[in-house]
Structure 1
């Protein structure tokens, strides 16, 4: 029966044709940049449940999270173990950061300025909040560039932006959806993001991968429930101290 299986694979491979591009002519750099500019900021908020996998150095963490994001710098994460136990709540309204750590008895409540250092202490992703939200809201920022070019690649098209020290490569699929973005400085890649599994309803990616090779940090966010551009009560970005929790002020 092996020859029948082999024949089946040949027929199946013949049916799996690469996605045909939607353009008649290869788009110019100016057209692609214009498309990005029009789409920029299309998603202003996100409310979703997600599985989050974080690798930092030689340490790996995984959790189930409920995420609230709102431009430019409001965020909230309710972090649960795989068994559904709440271990951490973190909320920032852009000015004040509040965190409830539920891993001890009694729990600990932290509050203080929503600075990069304070947020990094709990998130462990070396990005400014505004940059992290831009990547998670499907809007990777463009570098200041002097030169631009377009390259055809397998299954899509690549837009390259460059200046003296920096280079940015943006990858589009056959339907001109942005599916990846890589950032380089002096030839070294320092940040990359991949977008996959686009929602049919909102065209928002339900799988986002972010990597920072120089910091040996990777994060993968897989959404199981997702709403975008819904109004979020601003009170959700502030936490109230639970009863009996130990209070610690952040610097």
Structure 2
């Protein structure tokens, strides 16, 4: 056999070999409840994040990439700033979980109102409640309340496949065999979105994905959040979540749907005494 044929033979043989799987200290897990518990614990290890990222949006309405500064903290503290190509501030959105504020440099306008899903998701083509948005950005998967769970080991992909069942609804979780972090989540049987996490790195005692991807197939939308320089689990800077408008900005009050609330007309001045 010549060298070229030998090389082809080796490639074909190796491609058919099962992927080497590295397990955590518990070894292979066969109990779905045990894996579910370890996965929830692994997700809960990240509480706060602060740093820089890029957000790539692909949707029927618009596509493009934004540079961002983020500060987020569970359950619903959110601070997002976006910048243009020349690193000039474009907008800043802040929420304390109850109220939100959005400052847009163009027009010098500050919008404020309840922290509804429509308001806190103004930077995104999908609508998520603030607690759910914070969880996803922290690399965590919102989980359906399961009635039962099933588990198998996908040796080809090298992951656990933990499926949560609730009536006709299923959530299939592809779970890292060593770190017990979800690498992919697929919800079926109800309108929703899929999640994928990539480029995991160990940061101290936690394992965190460098990239978060959200896919809303029904809406034809994909969001890809790529972290470049972030710190985890530091004490949150609470001043970043203050809702005060910048001095001189025009303040606009909006309702939970994001619609401007027109100010009530001033009452007429009182008439002269005895009129």
Give your verdict on TM over 0.5: yes
Residue of structure 1 equivalent to 2:201: 199
Q: What secondary structure, in the 3-state scheme, does the structure 2 residue paired with 1:38 have?
A: helix
Contact 1:172 1:180 in 2 (8 A): yes
Residue of structure 2 equivalent to 1:128: 129
Residue of structure 2 equivalent to 1:212: 216
Contact 2:95 2:115 in 1 (8 A): yes
Q: What secondary structure, in the 3-state scheme, does the structure 2 residue paired with 1:69 have?
A: strand
* 1:184 aligns with one of 182, 188, 199: 188
Contact 1:21 1:156 in 2 (8 A): no
Distance 1:239 1:20, change over 3 A: same
Distance 1:112 1:26, change over 3 A: closer
Residue of structure 1 equivalent to 2:267: none
Contact 1:97 1:112 in 2 (8 A): yes
Partners in 2 of 1:9 and 1:241 — Cα distance?
67
Task: Summarize the alignment of residues 1-251 of structure 1 with structure 2, pairs less than 5 Å apart.
Answer: 7=7, 18-22=19-23, 24-102=27-105, 104=106, 106-153=107-154, 154=156, 155-175=158-178, 176-185=180-189, 190-201=192-203, 202-251=206-255
Partners in 1 of 2:20 and 2:241 — Cα distance?
42
Partners in 2 of 1:34 and 1:241 — Cα distance?
43
Distance 1:41 1:29, change over 3 A: same
Distance 1:9 1:61, change over 3 A: farther
When normalised by structure 1's length, the TM-score is: 0.86
Distance 1:149 1:84, change over 3 A: same
Q: Give unpaired runs (5+ residues) of structure 1.
A: none
Partners in 1 of 2:9 and 2:176 — Cα distance?
25
Partners in 2 of 1:39 and 1:203 — Cα distance?
8
Distance 1:231 1:21, change over 3 A: same
Contact 2:42 2:181 in 1 (8 A): no
When normalised by structure 2's length, the TM-score is: 0.79
Deviation at residue 160 of structure 1 after TM alignment: 0.6
Distance 1:97 1:177, change over 3 A: closer
Q: Give the aligned CA root-mean-square deviation in angstroms.
A: 2.7
Partners in 2 of 1:240 and 1:178 — Cα distance?
37
User: If each structure's helix is expressed as a fraction of its own residues, which one has the higher value?
Assistant: 1
Contact 1:19 1:174 in 2 (8 A): no
Residue of structure 1 equivalent to 2:259: none
Deviation at residue 193 of structure 1 after TM alignment: 0.7
Count of aligned positions: 245
